[in-house]
Structure 1
Amino acid sequence: MASQGTQAKNNDSSTTSIHVMALDEVVSANSLFTAAVFVGISLTSASSLSNNSLSSCNAGMDMVRSVIVFEVISFSCFLFSSLVAQGLKLAMNLINSNDPDEAFEAEVNTKVLSLGMICVGVGSILGCIFLLLSLVYVIQIKLGLLSCGGEATIRAVTALVVLVGSSLALYIWTIYYSFTR
Structure 2
Amino acid sequence: METNNSTPIYITALDGIINVNSLFTLAVFIGLTWDPTDPQNRLISNPICIPTSKVSESLISFHVYSFSSFLFSSLIALCIKQTIKNTPPHSEDDADTTNSSVRDRVNKTMLRVGMVGSAVGSVFGCGFLMMALVDVVQIKLGVLGSCPNKYNVGAVVPLLIFVPSALNHG
The normalised TM-score by structure 2 is 0.84
- What's the offset of the Cα at 1:48? 6.2
Is the Cα contact below 8 Å between 1:23 and 1:86 reproduced in 2? yes
The equivalent of 1:17 in structure 2 is 8
The equivalent of 1:175 in structure 2 is none
Unaligned runs of 5+ in 1: 1-14, 172-181
- What is the identity, as a one-letter code, of the residue corresponding to 2:150? E
Distance 1:49-1:78 versus aligned 2 partners, 3 A rule:
farther
- What is the identity, as a one-letter code, of the residue corresponding to 1:19? Y
Q: Distance in 2 between matches of 1:67 and 1:112?
A: 35
The alignment's C-alpha RMSD in Å is 2.1
Within a 5 Å distance, the mapping from 1:113-152 to structure 2 comes to 113-147=111-145, 148-152=147-151
Distance 1:17-1:131 versus aligned 2 partners, 3 A rule:
same
Distance 1:103-1:35 versus aligned 2 partners, 3 A rule:
farther
Within a 5 Å distance, the mapping from 1:95-110 to structure 2 comes to 95-96=87-88, 100-102=95-97, 104-105=99-100, 106=102, 107=104, 108-110=106-108
Distance 1:49-1:117 versus aligned 2 partners, 3 A rule:
farther
Q: How many residues align?
A: 157
Distance 1:138-1:95 versus aligned 2 partners, 3 A rule:
same
Distance 1:33-1:102 versus aligned 2 partners, 3 A rule:
farther
- What's the offset of the Cα at 1:17? 1.7
Structure 2 residue 159 is the aligned partner of structure 1 residue 160:
yes
Is the Cα contact below 8 Å between 1:44 and 1:64 reproduced in 2? no
1:55-81 CA distances to partner (integer Å, 9 max, x unpaired)? 110112221111110000000000000
Is the Cα contact below 8 Å between 2:55 and 2:135 reproduced in 1? yes
Q: Distance in 2 between matches of 1:29 and 1:58?
A: 34
Unaligned runs of 5+ in 2: 1-5
- What is the identity, as a one-letter code, of the residue corresponding to 2:52? G
The normalised TM-score by structure 1 is 0.79
The equivalent of 2:18 in structure 1 is 27
| Identity of matched residues, % | 39
Is the Cα contact below 8 Å between 2:62 and 2:132 reproduced in 1? yes
Structure 2 residue 61 is the aligned partner of structure 1 residue 69:
yes
Q: Distance in 2 between matches of 1:32 and 1:163?
A: 19
